[in-house]
Structure 1
Amino acid sequence: MNSRIDKTLAALADPHRRHAVELLGQRPRRAGELADALGLPAPAMSRHLRLLKQSGLVEETHPEFDARVRIYALKDGAMAELKRWLASTEAMWAAQLSSFKAHVEKKRK
């Protein structure tokens, strides 16, 4: 496995970060809005968002009207590599299970 997939999986290992990703999948949100939705204090939400940004899943923008406001959104294609890895792993297991099934059925005859 490569380090990008490792970072993605590590970021998604925490239930608060997974929930944040789900919320950001609906639409971009402010950090405070995410903290309120997750029931987290601002410093904890900041740590989660920093890790999500470092993993490459989330990006941060500032509206032109107020540089203090941070809007978080899912990064386009951020999970593409993970999806490819999961698809190849699923295909490998499907092939292994099919072979095992054929072997068991052959032994029964």
Structure 2
Amino acid sequence: MPPTSLTKVTASSFADGVADVGYEAADQPNGNDFVNTGKTILLVDNASGGNVTPTFAVGASKFTVNDAITKTPNTPVAAAKVGFYGPFPTAIYGSTVTVNYDVGASITVAVVELEQTPL
């Protein structure tokens, strides 16, 4: 099956912090995808009893020389912690980012679009 698409929220649309971002269940069997603008981040809330490691698909581009960029970071999120991934440069990840997880139970994710606020 294709990845399950996630709904993106804009950072300015929530007032109460991380609790307002609208977490969705991670789709471990099929993965998730989301629209990427280069200012997009993924939050991974791990309520499971062990680590979860998200991996991000990278397409071939001029930035994948010698396979250096195609090996995406595989930093795990510890149990009962929230991981932060991104932003994802569009030149490397494209306009849609696909993410897979090694564990799916008790994992929720949120996609947030960062905004630049003038000082």
TM-score, normalised via structure 1 length: 0.25
More strand by share: 2
- The structure whose Rg is larger is 1
TM-score (norm 2): 0.24
By relative contact order (CA 8 Å, sep 6+), the higher-ranking structure is: 2
